[in-house]
Amino acid sequence: MEFQEQWNYYVTLTESMLKVQMEQSEAPSILQDGMTYSLFAGGKRLRPVICLGSCEMLGGSATEALKAACAIEMIHTYSLIHDDLPAMDDDDLRRGKPSNHKVFGEANAILAGDGLLSLAMQLVSQVENKKAYQAVAKGAVEMVYGQSLDLNGKPDAETLFKTHEKKTGALLKAAVLAGAYTANAEQRQIDILSSFSDHFGLLFQITDDILDITGTREQLGKSVGKDERDDKVTFVTLYGLDAAKSEAVHVSEAAIMDLDRLDEDTSFLRGIVGKVLNRSF
């Protein structure tokens, strides 16, 4: 299957299950509308796609990993809803649309985030492979630790790396490993994919920081240069744009070298690394 065809197939699987999960929820209509609004607001579905890709790469079937993949997308969506709240990053726009709290109000947005996290846990509790379940739970916990570091941590390089390893990296790692565990991966494969996820998470965050400066409003779905205006410590504000770009290339090479150590056909995951490096979403 061509890369884009495989990507689209995973997105379709994910969105079908997310749609069913939302339709089946017995949430009051305003809560259901709020959760559905953000879940279907145009996210790239990177995390479920990489979860399903990791599973199939190791010989599992995408449908087996689908509950974990959808739970991760729900957790990711809740984190964005809460991150946009006035008490946190205070963003009025997300993916080019009004943020959840701008449409439904702050209290309902808090609940929409809580609801998505709770539904995610309910969904992933149905996963047969306990290690896949634990990987998702760990990702959710560490992401919150990362957000806390981001809010309260010291603005230095060490804290920046730790923050992003947790805030952005943990859920991406959960996606890769939940897929791998579902395919009953051996410990050697888990170790390699764990290292891959560390490099991939860093790549994602560095390119996100670069995009905040170089991206267009359409590409970002929000205003350009927000990190700088908010006095945020990012890879770009700390090291400069050129050094951040070189570091992105360097960590993408490290991620590819991790994949080289696997015997399986890693072309889909390689394609995702290229897509993130070039931000061609």
Interface residues with ligand GRG (CB under 6 A) are: 43-44, 46, 79-80, 82-83, 95, 143-144, 147, 167-168, 208
Whole-number Å distance between alpha carbons of 80 and 100: 9
Whole-number Å distance between alpha carbons of 147 and 166: 8
Closest to ligand GRG by CB, 67 vs 82, is 82
What is the closest distance, in whole angstroms, from the C-beta atom of residue 226 to ligand GRG in the complex?
A: 9
Of the candidates 215, 24, 48, which has an alpha carbon nearest to the alpha carbon of residue 122?
24
Closest to ligand GRG by CB, 60 vs 201, is 201
Closest to ligand GRG by CB, 40 vs 265, is 40
Of the candidates 174, 188, 181, which has an alpha carbon nearest to the alpha carbon of residue 120?
174
Exposure of 273 in the CB half-sphere (CA atoms within 13 A): 25
Distances from the Cα of 102 to the Cαs of 39, 98, 176, 248, in angstroms? 15, 6, 33, 34
What is the closest distance, in whole angstroms, from the C-beta atom of residue 126 to ligand GRG in the complex?
A: 23
Of the candidates 241, 163, 243, 169, which has an alpha carbon nearest to the alpha carbon of residue 202?
169
Closest to ligand GRG by CB, 210 vs 259, is 210
What is the closest distance, in whole angstroms, from the C-beta atom of residue 186 to ligand GRG in the complex?
A: 29
Closest to ligand GRG by CB, 168 vs 189, is 168
The single-letter code of the amino acid at 145 is: Y
CB closest to ligand GRG, residue no: 43
Q: Are strands 93-94 and 97-98 parallel, antiparallel or unpaired?
A: antiparallel
What is the closest distance, in whole angstroms, from the C-beta atom of residue 10 to ligand GRG in the complex?
A: 14
Closest to ligand GRG by CB, 108 vs 168, is 168
What is the closest distance, in whole angstroms, from the C-beta atom of residue 43 to ligand GRG in the complex?
A: 3
Tokens found for residue 270: 């390689």
What is the closest distance, in whole angstroms, from the C-beta atom of residue 151 to ligand GRG in the complex?
A: 9
Residue that the structure tokens 């109000």 belong to: 105
